[in-house]
């Protein structure tokens, strides 16, 4: 009687509780500390009350907020800093909460923001919306998929790394490596659910989309970390939120460990009765230049943010003069797929396809990136006008989105949209002039207004790129802070000579000065550059 050769398996299983990316792992973050913070929030029997309490106390501001919003009510200002609530935000794609990490050697405690991204939560949100039926079969199918979505096998790449033949048989060594690629997604297939129309393909679509967004968010953070490292090497303040690492637990929860930030621009806008930095033109221009610079850096890496809005711009923890663009879940190197209504451009919701090889003549970047120009201009309008004055513009644009689905018909309403924006800006600019009596500042406000119109063009081919807008705001700021700098020409005059403007925008010198102004080594160097 012959026996088949024996097969011996030597499994090298690294486990799903492992570090997946760590650009500079100087500190070790323990999963137990993350789990402890999560349990405090998500396993609390009073979770609903806790969430309600979070909403009422989260928008506390440091006393220094008075520098940018003198009208801030005293009850909103925390005398001893932020109310330390571990819950920062909730959504279908993820949750953000604070975690206190203790260094085992120094015994020092550091607070970090941790963003949890859950495949199970993501699928639950998408599938219940896609298949809202109360049919018990559909409900059971969704439940089974969600149960299977926490399997470690989905995040694990299995590879045969060695096979050795011996007299007793063959020994195969198998390696299980945590991966951000969706391996083994077939385990989500439920045989009885195949009869439900589009169920299987929908599950596969959302799983692949989750992993794509997750990989992109991590990669963008890694790339922007390189910008931070370069700035630190030159003794500058960093532009972007510091990203440290990401880890995964045994239920397919991915945790991104990042720097703790402060309030969002949206938080401040909702609580400030006046526009931020209402009568401080220099500060507002510097703020706009910060946002434009950060988005321009993203564009240099080949990314479009796709979801720029006041909610995604966070102030640094202890400063209302510096902030960072955040939330890269929708970021892409291709054409944007989604965004936020009221802030996205017409190509975000109309049947408009942009060829990836189309290049903007002035910035020499793909036309695809102009998606961010429109969203940025809408965000700047919120800051410039204040949320109360901005609402009518926002609602009018939302009405256009709902009413007109044909691109040609939609474009016909651009003129009235501009009239509404013009009325709002003209009114607030007059109020600022009556208070300051500075003719030069009024001229700058009007030039800025004209630039915003060019960022808000409904037709993307007529819209100016972020890099062009950054150059123009830089020239406006110079005219405000330097006695020797003259006012730039109207943006229309610049655009009439695209070749000449292209040479100016492509020159590296002005970008170096922008970085020196925003993230200086020392103030003397800035003064010298301005002269």
Reported confidence tier of residue 429, pLDDT bands at 50, 70, 90? very high
pLDDT beyond 70 at 405 = yes
> Token digits for 149?
């979505």
pLDDT in tens, 272-303: 878 888 889 999 999 999 999 999 999 999 99
pTM given for the model: 0.85
pLDDT value, residue 332: 92
Give tens-digit pLDDT for 74-120. Answer: 878 877 655 555 566 666 566 788 888 777 677 778 888 888 888 88
Angle at 473 between CA 301 and CA 497, to 5 degrees: 85
Backbone angles phi and psi of 456, in degrees to 5: -95, 5
**Residue 358, pLDDT above cutoff 60:** yes
pLDDT on residue 72: 84
- How far apart CA 148 and CA 254 sit, in angstroms, is 16
CA distance 508 to 204: 45
CB 361 within 8 A of CB 498: yes
Mean pLDDT of 193-211: 87
Answer yes or no: is 221 within a domain. Answer: no
Residue-wise burial string across 398-431, b where 16 or more C-beta atoms lie within 10 A, e elsewhere: eebbeebeeeeebeebbeebeeebeebbeebbee
Say yes or no to pLDDT of 165 above 50. Answer: yes
Name the DSSP class of 490.
P
Q: For residues 289 and 518, is the Cβ–Cβ distance under 8 A?
A: yes
User: CATH code at 359?
Assistant: 1.10.510.10
Specify whether the backbone of 372 is left (phi greater than 0), alpha (psi in -120 to 50) or beta: alpha
Query: For residue 126, how many other CB atoms are within 10 A of its CB?
Result: 19
Q: What is the pLDDT of residues 475-489, one digit of tens each?
A: 999 999 887 888 998
Alpha helices per DSSP H over 368-518: 370-385, 387-403, 407-411, 414-436, 439-455, 466-481, 491-496, 498-506, 508-518
Three-state secondary-structure class, residue 306: coil
- Please indicate, yes or no, if residue 363 is contained in any of the structural domains: yes
At residue 421, does pLDDT exceed 80?
A: yes
- Between 484 and 383, the higher pLDDT residue: 383
Residue 169 counted as domain residue: no
Q: Can you tell me the mean pLDDT for 387-398? A: 93
Q: Which long-range contacts (CB under 8 A, 24 or more apart) does 203-211 make?
A: 203/123, 203/127, 203/145, 206/122, 206/123, 206/126, 206/127, 207/119, 207/123, 207/154, 207/182, 208/182, 210/117, 210/119, 210/122, 210/123, 210/182, 211/180, 211/181, 211/182
For the segment 437-465, the average pLDDT, to the nearest whole number, is 94
> Is-contact 112 37, C-beta < 8 A?
no
Q: How far apart are CA 44 and CA 32, in angstroms?
A: 17
pLDDT band at 369 (very low <50, low <70, confident <90, very high): very high
Is 342 a member of any domain?
yes
The candidate with the shortest Cα–Cα distance to 245, out of 220, 222, 269, 261, is 222
pLDDT class of 56 with cuts at 50, 70, 90: very low
Reported as a single tens digit per residue, the pLDDT across 490-523 is 999 889 888 889 999 999 999 999 998 998 875 5
Q: Other C-beta atoms within 10 Å of 195: how many?
A: 10
Position 514 in a domain: no
DSSP letter string over 157-204? EEEEEEEEEETTEEEEEEEEEE-SS-TTGGGG--GGGGGSTTHHHHHH
pLDDT score at 210: 87
Overall number of domains in the chain = 1
pLDDT at 1: 43
Domain that holds residue 418: 261-466
User: What would the mean pLDDT of 43-58 be, rounded to a whole number?
Assistant: 52
Asked, for residue 349, whether it belongs to a domain, the answer is: yes
Contact assessment for residue 375 and residue 330, using Cβ atoms and an 8 Å cutoff:
no
Residue 347 lies in a domain: yes
Work out the mean pLDDT of the chain and round it to a whole number. Answer: 82
**Ranges 20-24, 55-59, 147-151, 343-347: which has the least confidence:** 20-24
Task: Identify whether the C-beta of residue 243 lies closer than 8 Å to the C-beta of residue 221.
Answer: yes
CA 324 – CA 369 distance, rounded (Å):
19
User: Residue 2: inside a domain, yes or no?
Assistant: no
SS3 155: helix
């Amino acid at each position: 009687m012959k026996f088949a050769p024996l097969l011996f398996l030597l499994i090298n299983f690294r486990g799903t509780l492992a570090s997946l990316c760590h650009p500079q792992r100087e500190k070790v973050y323990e999963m137990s500390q993350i789990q402890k913070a999560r349990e405090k929030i998500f396993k609390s029997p009073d979770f609903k009350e806790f969430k309600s309490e979070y909403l009422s106390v989260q928008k506390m501001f440091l006393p220094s907020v008075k520098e940018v919003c003198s009208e801030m009510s005293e009850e909103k200002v925390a005398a001893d800093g932020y109310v330390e609530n571990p819950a920062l935000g909730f959504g279908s794609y993820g949750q953000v909460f604070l975690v206190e990490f203790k260094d085992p050697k120094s015994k020092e405690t550091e607070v970090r923001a941790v963003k949890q991204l859950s495949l199970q939560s993501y699928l639950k949100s998408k599938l219940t919306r896609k298949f809202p039926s109360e049919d018990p079969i559909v409900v059971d199918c969704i439940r089974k998929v969600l149960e299977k979505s926490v399997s470690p096998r989905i995040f694990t790449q299995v590879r045969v790394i060695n096979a050795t033949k011996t007299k007793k048989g063959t020994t195969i060594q198998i390696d299980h490596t945590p991966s951000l690629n969706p391996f083994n997604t077939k385990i989500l297939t439920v045989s009885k659910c195949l009869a439900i129309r589009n169920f299987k393909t929908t599950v596969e679509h959302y799983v692949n989309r989750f992993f794509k967004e997750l990989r992109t968010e991590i990669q963008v953070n890694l790339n922007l970390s390189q910008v931070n490292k370069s700035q630190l090497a030159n003794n500058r303040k960093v532009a972007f939120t510091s990203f440290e690492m990401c880890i995964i637990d045994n239920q397919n929860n991915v945790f991104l460990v990042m720097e703790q930030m402060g309030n969002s621009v949206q938080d401040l806008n909702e609580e400030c009765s006046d526009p931020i930095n209402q009568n401080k033109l220099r500060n507002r221009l510097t703020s706009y230049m910060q946002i434009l610079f950060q988005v321009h850096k993203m564009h240099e890496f080949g990314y479009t943010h796709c979801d720029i809005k006041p909610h995604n711009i966070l102030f640094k923890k202890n400063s209302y003069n510096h902030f960072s663009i955040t939330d890269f879940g929708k970021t892409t190197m291709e054409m944007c797929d989604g965004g936020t209504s009221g802030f996205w451009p017409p190509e975000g919701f109309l049947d408009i396809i942009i060829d990836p090889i189309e290049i903007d003549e002035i910035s020499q970047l793909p036309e695809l990136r102009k998606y961010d120009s429109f969203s940025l201009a809408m965000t700047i309008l919120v800051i410039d006008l204040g949320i109360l004055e901005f609402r009518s513009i926002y609602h009018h644009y939302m009405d256009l989105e709902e009413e007109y689905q044909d691109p040609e018909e939609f474009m016909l309403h651009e003129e009235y949209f501009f009239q509404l924006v013009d009325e709002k800006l003209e009114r607030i600019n007059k109020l600022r002039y009556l208070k300051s009596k500075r003719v030069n500042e009024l001229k700058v406000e009007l030039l800025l207004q004209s630039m915003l119109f060019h960022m808000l063009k409904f037709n993307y081919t007529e819209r100016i790129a972020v890099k062009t807008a950054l150059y123009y705001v830089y020239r406006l700021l110079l005219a405000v802070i330097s006695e020797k700098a003259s006012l730039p020409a109207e943006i229309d005059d610049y655009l009439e000579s695209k070749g000449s403007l292209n040479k100016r925008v492509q020159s590296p010198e002005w970008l170096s000065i922008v970085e020196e102004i925003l993230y200086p080594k020392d103030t003397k160097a800035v003064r010298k550059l301005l002269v």
